[in-house]
């Protein structure tokens, strides 16, 4: 009998619309000779729908063999939905709870990478209560960081709430903006004149990396507009970088994946300085975009793994991980 795969998309995050396109594309391309596909939509308020009918999540998931949550950002990529699958004992595509948390948190992931001697920018976080209590003191604690700085909500995506700050007088406002979106703000030194290089990763301890790709944002940095509105942002696959740099980036991507004990899949994003040729790992996305033109599947396609085979492989890994729950320990 065919296994039922539930493709879950939409969701409560700012990436709701992208998730719908990704989810629809996965549902369309899954190999029907191997799988029966159920589409599950989560609306912006968190309601679950199957065939247009609103139902309780646990009812919808009752006869599902494997869940494929194509949800980005908050409630999708941050360990919450993964916890639901764990409670219901359903195999699922993607990282476990703890790995999702670490991948999502821009501070925790960097702390771990730093500990593993992987290259990261200088950073410092501020938590809301400390900021509200004494802004002057909080600003003093980040005063060693050199401008320009990037100020970000520590647990968000899609460049929402991110400001590039060029001088001291604009810092306070940028921090206030980032705090609109969460409890913790991360302040990072910037990689000047950076090229944005991305690598796709697949597997468990046997992780493999794709060729490198490059994003050329249409704006000063890859902000929300450059990501979703401005048609002049470009993706170049493979990235035009020398072999040595490319294999170093690939190796670092694999090491960063292992350092967080990631499983299944991720996309690792790098900032490569045009001036020095040095790079840092900036972040990982444990459920990257999956539209037919998204970097994650495109990079695999360029590495010799076409979209449909990639999906089958992810489901195989999900079943394998379900049998080996100890993998989730960090
Ligand atoms: N430290 C940095 N130095 C240079 N550019 C940065 C830095 N941090 C972020 N950026 C720019 O901001 C964009 C969004 O930041 P990122 O941390 O990737 O957030 P998100 O999770 O929202 O994608 C990056 O793609 C890059 O263009
Ligand atoms: Mg990013």
Whether the Cβ atoms of residue 5 and residue 37 lie closer than 8 Å to each other: yes
The C-alpha angle 167, 280, 209, rounded to 5 degrees, equals: 145
Return the CATH number of the domain spanning residue range 102-119+192-328: 3.30.470.20
- 209 bridge partner residues: 201
Instruction: For CATH 3.40.50.20, list the domain ranges present in the chain.
Output: 3-93
279 Cβ closer than 6 Å to some ligand 1 atom:
no
pTM: predicted TM-score of the whole model, two decimal places:
0.95
**Closest CA relative to residue 234, chosen from 304, 188, 295:** 295
Considering the domain delimited by 3-93, tell me its CATH architecture. Answer: 3-Layer(aba) Sandwich (3.40)
Give the other-Cβ count within 10 Å of 83's Cβ: 14
Instruction: For CATH 3.30.470.20, list the domain ranges present in the chain.
Output: 102-119+192-328
pLDDT tens for each residue of 251-266: 999 999 999 999 999 9
Pocket test for ligand 1, best of 157, 160, 162, 223 (most atoms within 8 A of CB): 162
**Closest CA relative to residue 284, chosen from 269, 262, 299, 263:** 269
Instruction: For CATH 3.30.1490.20, list the domain ranges present in the chain.
Output: 123-189
Among protein residues, the one with the nearest Cα to ligand 1's atom 14 is 159
Whether the Cβ atoms of residue 84 and residue 57 lie closer than 8 Å to each other: yes
Q: Which of 3.20.20.140, 3.40.190.10, 3.30.1490.20, 3.30.497.10 would CATH assign to domain 123-189?
A: 3.30.1490.20
Which residues of the chain fall below pLDDT 50?
Answer: none
- Contacting residues for 74 by C-beta, under 8 A, at least 6 apart: 12, 13, 14, 80, 155, 156
Q: Which pLDDT score is estimated for 330?
A: 65
Give phi and psi for 282, each to the nearest 5. Answer: -95, -50
Q: Which pLDDT score is estimated for 326?
A: 65
């Amino acid at each position: 009998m065919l296994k039922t795969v539930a493709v879950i998309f939409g969701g409560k995050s700012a990436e709701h619309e992208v998730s719908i396109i990704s989810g629809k594309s996965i549902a369309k391309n899954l190999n029907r000779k191997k799988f029966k596909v159920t589409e599950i939509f989560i609306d912006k308020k968190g309601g679950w729908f199957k065939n247009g009918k609103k139902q309780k999540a646990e009812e919808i998931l009752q006869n599902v063999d494997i869940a494929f949550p194509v949800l980005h950002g908050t409630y999708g990529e941050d360990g919450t939905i993964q916890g639901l699958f764990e409670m219901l004992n359903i195999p699922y595509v993607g990282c476990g709870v703890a790995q999702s948390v670490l991948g999502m948190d821009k501070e925790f992931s960097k702390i771990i990478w730093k500990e593993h001697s992987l290259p990261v920018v200088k950073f410092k976080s501020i938590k809301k209560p400390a900021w509200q209590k004494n802004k002057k003191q909080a600003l003093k604690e980040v005063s060693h960081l050199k401008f320009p700085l990037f100020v970000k909500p520590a647990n968000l995506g899609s460049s929402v709430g991110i400001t590039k700050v060029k001088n001291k007088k604009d810092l306070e406002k940028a921090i206030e903006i980032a705090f609109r979106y969460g409890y913790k703000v991360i302040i990072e030194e910037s990689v000047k004149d950076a090229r944005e290089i991305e690598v796709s990763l697949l597997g468990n301890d046997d992780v493999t990396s794709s060729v490198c790709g490059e994003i050329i944002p249409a704006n000063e940095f890859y902000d929300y507009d450059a990501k979703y509105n401005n048609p002049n942002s470009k993706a170049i696959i493979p990235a035009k970088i020398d072999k040595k740099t490319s294999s170093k980036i690939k190796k670092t991507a694999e090491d960063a994946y292992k350092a967080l004990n990631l499983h299944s899949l991720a996309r690792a994003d790098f900032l490569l300085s045009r001036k020095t040729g040095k790079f840092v790992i900036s972040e990982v996305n444990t459920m990257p975009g999956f539209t037919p033109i998204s970097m994650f599947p495109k990079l695999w396609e360029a590495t010799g793994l076409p979209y449909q085979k990639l999906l089958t492989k992810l489901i195989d890994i999900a079943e394998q991980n379900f049998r080996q729950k100890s993998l989730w320990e960090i």
